[in-house]
Structure 1
Amino acid sequence: MSADHANHADHTVLIVGAGPTGLTAACALLRHGVPVHVVDRRRGPATAPKALVLWSGALEVLDRLEVATPLAERALPLAGASYWSRGRKVAGVRFGGLSNTRFPGPLCVPQPVTEELLYARLTQLGGAVSWNTEVSSVTQSPTQEGDTVTALLRDADGQESTTTASWLIAADGMHSTVRGTLGVDFEGATYPRDFLLGDVVLDPAGGAELPDREAQYHLTPEGVLVVVSLPEGGHRVFFDQPAGTRADRPEKPELQQLLDARGPGKWRISEVWWSSRFQVHTKVAAAFRSGRVFLAGDAAHVHSPAGGQGLNTGVQDGYDIGWKLAAAIRSGSAAPLDSYQEERRPAAVRAVRNADRQTKLWLVRNPLVRRLRDTLLRRLSKSGALERRIIPELAQVDLDHSGSPAVQQSSAPADGVRAGRRVPDLPLTPVHGTKAATLHTYLAAGKHTVVVQDDGRPATQAARAAEEARRATHPELSDVLLVRTGPTDTPTAGNAPAYDLASTPAGSTARTPQAVYVRPDGTVGARVPLDGPGRVAELLAHLPVLAPAPSGDLPGQR
């Protein structure tokens, strides 16, 4: 190594990979004031459309980073999905009816648009990406200042240098160099089928109707055909075939032949914008953390494109480790980091399992099993059970973190607010402060927040006490929010924002005054009844995600 490429330690968090996962993590850290160093082996942001669908959980994350609104302007809202067998529609689900979220349905938007907007947000926040920079090895070692991570970097000219950081987030894809260097097992299997996709322009020859704002699944004995409407007017077509059939990029004749065999028989491909042939794996890393290194996105889990779960799960990984690293760095406590694997690995395993279940549904060959599948789909669709089950799974909007070390349980009655679950999105009427019309709108800033819920009696004193406790112990929290479920004579609590509930949804409001800590991801981290003095201070003092580290305990030591 030359003297011109010496070791430097200018950055707190090194992020390897500038795809949606890495960019989300970087933006989340920068929003919380933590400097980052982002590197990527590519020449620049993605151009291949790859992932296509964003669900509610990922959209809420992007909203906290101020990316969801411009993204929605360039996306196509999908209205539903339909399943076809033997040329007939056997089932359907409608999108857009998911409750308790600002994003009730999925958006169709090619991955380069998501990356473009996240990259723009990164630069707006003062971040940058070192393109053409590959990580070839990673080591962890203790120093006088604390444990560090050192990465050996190689640029496009083959020049090597090292960089040292306090933490590293590996978002460097399925073939993660970082994961391999650490020796973390990537557990799972590969489907015995190759998969082909193409973004194409379809002509409805003979008057055959094209899918409009929907995804169609044509399940045939030879294989599956998936057709999804695209924002720019074309369609994505997706097929499977026996592994090893061909290795070249799919061209128009091959795609048309498969379309004729599996589709309605009257669609013609007039133009191919982009195509790809690939294998599909279903794998999850044995561990999402190794010391000061965290795995996220495809470096931690890969699965079938069924349901469009890959990018969605990765974006939520990136946001989760981003805000937790920021909390650990600010508080000096390792507690937030202990929850990353406990929360995100089960979510990834669930997403992989759901995608695998859908893929196997596509690939049924036995005629008897196919008839049973079609009958079951028809009945579930007719009863609405298919929609009720599949949409929440795909949306990943209300995960259960009740067993997480970053959640403090309470023996008090839940009153519709449960520790470890997403806080309800209550409609609000502003009394003082911001003009947010719902609780989720207020929380979309992605800050740590204390919500004081009032039962209709004057709660100014409780809210003021909560605000004083917050300022004294945790200035990184946003202002205390007073939510009143009934009229009072005292409309404000110091300078804290205050709201009246515009309505009272059953089971979603507190019957007794309580203080609720809401994490940046919208999850209820803890709650206490306001039944005595000092209760809010007690909540903050014992909250694992914000508790100060014991003497001598450096963040990240295990």
Structure 2
Amino acid sequence: MTVPVLVVGAGPTGLTAAAVLRDLGVPCRVVDRRPGPGIAPKGLVLWSGALECLDRLGVAEKIAETALPLTGGSYWSNGRRLAVARFGGLTGTAFPGPLCVPQPVTERALHARLTELGGTVEWETEATAVAVNRGGPEESVTVTLRSARGEETLTVPWLIAADGARGLVRDSVGIPFEGHTFDRMFLIGDGRLEGAPADAEVQHHIAPDGVLVIVPQPDGHRVFFDMEPDGQTEPPTEELLQRLLDERGPGGLRLHDTWWASRFRVHAKVAPRFREGPVLLAGDAVHAHTTAGGQGLNTGVQDGYDVGWKLASVVRGADPALLDSFEAERRPASVRAVANGDQQTRMWLLRSPAARLLRNTVLRLLSATGLLEKKAIPLLAQLDLDHSMSPAVADLDGAPAVPRALRLGRRSPDLALAPVHGTTARSLHAHLSAGRHTVLVHGDLAAGELAARAAAVVGERGAGDVVRVLWIQPANTAPAELPQDGAGFAVARDAGDALGGAGAPWCAYLRPDGVVAARSGPAGLDDLLSRLPSRPPRITPVPAQGPVLSSPPAPRRPARTPPLSASLERGDPHAARRRRTGGSAT
């Protein structure tokens, strides 16, 4: 067997990365020390950014079948509503609001998709040692795996570490975890909540002695509390949860038939590096979030998607420097998400009467002016990430002709399109499905000729399975048709004139994650095409399984506790920008 990539960890992050790799034609091996897919519903909310990634993998629709669309979030004090932000108003996306769906549903959908793509997960297989090999012509990673078969040692060109906040890989390659752990203990209970409001609004009840969060679920509710540590480590009893509910809730609520409960500490941490040579770290392995805003699962899915398509591109012949953009883009996004959750949690836990009064006043003002909804929802949805300073994006010759709707380094909005010549997709994102690279060419017949040329180059380079060419004709113009067949690319029309009228043709390269990576005029098309994967995967032979020992597996290595040294503020998301312009865990 040959495999260029080993994925350690089969939670949402690892499964997303593995599915993207397989979908883009790159085989990988996936291992996880657990006996099977997760059953604990730790993550509960999927926001638009993660849902778009899952949609391109073909699993969002399946997940949405059993999900509950959340309608808004509100803050309450002394039984009175201080503020509300309505969900569901985001534009330019097929997912205008968040969905409430237990994490195991997402994991099962991703695992099923990986299986469809020919991948498997080796459960009860634990990475016990990881070492980066330097000094040869190419770096590699040697990993020792332990399972019921014994131990095996293998060497792979690339390793994706998605093994969680207490996983082995980050420690093994010498990357610290910077941030802090909250002093308070946090409790969660999932069950039936008699007397709860009928709508699907997330309620935050902030009392002098702590917070109560009520999250509607498809088949019940989640209640969430903080409290002083009491020395207990077992999950909270239903009686304790009910007592806290009575003390902090609006009254008249009864929790029963609890099916899952947990007691844990929350952290706000980000690793200073997301890569160590051929080892790329993603998800909880490099960022630990509080529960506020439900950002951990969402950030991890987007990490997995990003590292998956970028590593697939490199294995298929793209410049290895593309992987430098993984940390350059995903770390600032993680710092922002962690800081947002950290700030929300601190706001919940204010104890000073003066500080609580100020908080409540600010919440009322932000809600009354609409700023809470305008600012908070896009931040949580993670659709507004700016990668314009990334080393993986560039404006090329003739780029000023490209309209503002496609901003460099930003996610492309889901623009309305009209089908032409038998195509059926009615939006830009529908053409971006299945994680392909997209060369977008806009204009009349001359643009069609550019699109045909681009499709021919893609075919000659052997990348037709992962690169699509899309010719978009301007709105309010007669449909143009090439004299030749036009095979190798799709044709659509701009239904809303968002991309400008008939003028000089222009081109844009949309990455598999929908981000505008390059823009050009006709003269820059060759430069734009040079940035795409150019050949079938380069496979490096490695043993699928090393020597199997006759002895049984040794006990698992005790989990290491990350250091609590540096503060979260050391993770500055703007540091990279300044350098360039100057020269849930639980």
Global fold match (TM > 0.5):
yes
1:3-14 equivalent positions in 2, closer than 5 A: 10-14=2-6
Contact 2:402 2:506 in 1 (8 A): no
The amino acid that maps onto 2:468 is D
Displacement after TM superposition at 1:145 (Å) = 7.5
Work out the CA distance in 1 between the residues paired with 2:422 and 2:463: 19
Does residue 1:390 correspond to 2:376, yes or no?
Answer: yes
Does residue 1:478 correspond to 2:470, yes or no?
Answer: no
Displacement after TM superposition at 1:156 (Å) = 4.5
TM-score by length of 2: 0.86
The one of 320, 326, 335 equivalent to 1:349 is 335
Partner of 2:495: 502
What's the Cα RMSD here? Answer: 2.0
Displacement after TM superposition at 1:246 (Å) = 2.8
Contact 1:38 1:130 in 2 (8 A): yes
Q: Secondary structure in 2 aligned to 1:307?
A: helix
1:308-347 equivalent positions in 2, closer than 5 A: 308-331=294-317, 333-347=319-333
Displacement after TM superposition at 1:142 (Å) = 5.0
- Encode CA deviations 1:381-412: one digit per residue, 9 max, x unaligned: 12211001000000012311111111113462
The one of 433, 436, 447 equivalent to 1:459 is 447
Partner of 1:6: none
1:280-299 equivalent positions in 2, closer than 5 A: 280-299=266-285
Per mean C-alpha deviation after superposition, the further-off stretch among 345-354 and 237-246 is 237-246
Work out the CA distance in 2 between the residues paired with 1:381 and 1:19: 36
The one of 198, 205, 218 equivalent to 1:218 is 205
Work out the CA distance in 2 between the residues paired with 1:311 and 1:438: 27
The one of 356, 362, 367 equivalent to 1:381 is 367
Work out the CA distance in 1 between the residues paired with 2:503 and 2:300: 38
Work out the CA distance in 2 between the residues paired with 1:281 and 1:508: 47
Displacement after TM superposition at 1:147 (Å) = 2.7
CA distance change for structure 1 residues 160 and 460 in 2, over 3 Å: closer, same or farther? closer
Work out the CA distance in 1 between the residues paired with 2:377 and 2:197: 23
Partner of 1:552: none
Partner of 1:539: 528
Q: Secondary structure in 1 aligned to 2:394?
A: coil
The one of 417, 441, 445 equivalent to 2:434 is 445
Q: Secondary structure in 2 aligned to 1:539?
A: helix
Does residue 1:185 correspond to 2:176, yes or no?
Answer: yes
Partner of 1:522: 514
Per mean C-alpha deviation after superposition, the further-off stretch among 485-494 and 93-102 is 485-494
CA distance change for structure 1 residues 262 and 501 in 2, over 3 Å: closer, same or farther? same
Displacement after TM superposition at 1:538 (Å) = 2.8
CA distance change for structure 1 residues 344 and 508 in 2, over 3 Å: closer, same or farther? farther
Displacement after TM superposition at 1:97 (Å) = 0.6
Contact 1:136 1:177 in 2 (8 A): yes
Work out the CA distance in 1 between the residues paired with 2:526 and 2:468: 14
Displacement after TM superposition at 1:547 (Å) = 8.3
CA distance change for structure 1 residues 259 and 194 in 2, over 3 Å: closer, same or farther? same
Per mean C-alpha deviation after superposition, the further-off stretch among 301-310 and 327-336 is 327-336
Work out the CA distance in 2 between the residues paired with 1:407 and 1:306: 32
1:223-302 equivalent positions in 2, closer than 5 A: 223-232=210-219, 234-302=220-288
Work out the CA distance in 2 between the residues paired with 1:468 and 1:415: 26
The one of 480, 483, 493 equivalent to 1:490 is 480
Work out the CA distance in 1 between the residues paired with 2:414 and 2:315: 30
CA distance change for structure 1 residues 459 and 413 in 2, over 3 Å: closer, same or farther? closer
Q: Secondary structure in 2 aligned to 1:432?
A: coil
Q: Secondary structure in 2 aligned to 1:315?
A: helix
Partner of 2:139: 147
Q: Secondary structure in 2 aligned to 1:48?
A: coil
Work out the CA distance in 1 between the residues paired with 2:479 and 2:186: 65
Work out the CA distance in 2 between the residues paired with 1:368 and 1:521: 45
- Which of structures 1 and 2 has the larger relative contact order (alpha carbons within 8 angstroms, sep 6+)? 2
- Encode CA deviations 1:53-101: one digit per residue, 9 max, x unaligned: 0000000010111110000001111111111011100110111111111
Work out the CA distance in 1 between the residues paired with 2:158 and 2:468: 29
The amino acid that maps onto 1:226 is V
Q: Secondary structure in 1 aligned to 2:129?
A: strand
Contact 2:458 2:534 in 1 (8 A): no
Q: Secondary structure in 1 aligned to 2:497?
A: coil
- Encode CA deviations 1:25-66: one digit per residue, 9 max, x unaligned: 000000011111111010000111110000000000101111
Displacement after TM superposition at 1:152 (Å) = 0.7
Displacement after TM superposition at 1:491 (Å) = 2.8
Q: Secondary structure in 1 aligned to 2:89?
A: coil
Work out the CA distance in 2 between the residues paired with 1:133 and 1:385: 48
Q: Secondary structure in 1 aligned to 2:372?
A: helix
Does residue 1:468 correspond to 2:456, yes or no?
Answer: yes
The amino acid that maps onto 1:162 is T
Count of residue pairs brought into register by the alignment: 527
Contact 2:44 2:102 in 1 (8 A): yes
Contact 2:7 2:14 in 1 (8 A): yes
- Encode CA deviations 1:190-239: one digit per residue, 9 max, x unaligned: 001010000021112xxxx525212100011110000011111x100000
- Encode CA deviations 1:86-139: one digit per residue, 9 max, x unaligned: 110011011111111111110000001011111111111111111111111101
The amino acid that maps onto 2:197 is L
The amino acid that maps onto 1:43 is P
Displacement after TM superposition at 1:473 (Å) = 4.3
- Encode CA deviations 1:158-209: one digit per residue, 9 max, x unaligned: x2211221100010011010111111111011001010000021112xxxx5
Q: Secondary structure in 2 aligned to 1:160?
A: strand
Contact 1:218 1:263 in 2 (8 A): yes
Per mean C-alpha deviation after superposition, the further-off stretch among 379-388 and 49-58 is 379-388
Q: Secondary structure in 1 aligned to 2:450?
A: helix
Per mean C-alpha deviation after superposition, the further-off stretch among 460-469 and 433-442 is 460-469
Contact 1:336 1:546 in 2 (8 A): no
The one of 115, 124, 142 equivalent to 2:107 is 115
Partner of 1:71: 63
- Encode CA deviations 1:425-445: one digit per residue, 9 max, x unaligned: 221111125311000111122
TM-score by length of 1: 0.91
Displacement after TM superposition at 1:509 (Å) = 7.0
Unaligned 5+ segments in structure 2 are 536-586
Partner of 2:355: 369
Does residue 1:169 correspond to 2:160, yes or no?
Answer: yes
The amino acid that maps onto 2:448 is T
Work out the CA distance in 2 between the residues paired with 1:74 and 1:491: 43
The amino acid that maps onto 2:32 is D
Does residue 1:429 correspond to 2:418, yes or no?
Answer: yes
Contact 2:132 2:173 in 1 (8 A): no
Work out the CA distance in 2 between the residues paired with 1:236 and 1:471: 51
The one of 51, 55, 62 equivalent to 1:59 is 51
Per mean C-alpha deviation after superposition, the further-off stretch among 162-171 and 148-157 is 148-157
Contact 2:12 2:106 in 1 (8 A): yes
Displacement after TM superposition at 1:245 (Å) = 4.8
Work out the CA distance in 2 between the residues paired with 1:525 and 1:509: 22
The amino acid that maps onto 2:77 is S
Partner of 1:553: none
Displacement after TM superposition at 1:465 (Å) = 2.4
Q: Secondary structure in 2 aligned to 1:276?
A: strand
Tell me which stretches of 4 or more aligned residues in structure 1 moved more than 6 Å: 507-510
Displacement after TM superposition at 1:529 (Å) = 1.5
Displacement after TM superposition at 1:259 (Å) = 0.3
The amino acid that maps onto 1:40 is D
Work out the CA distance in 1 between the residues paired with 2:34 and 2:462: 40
Displacement after TM superposition at 1:332 (Å) = 5.1
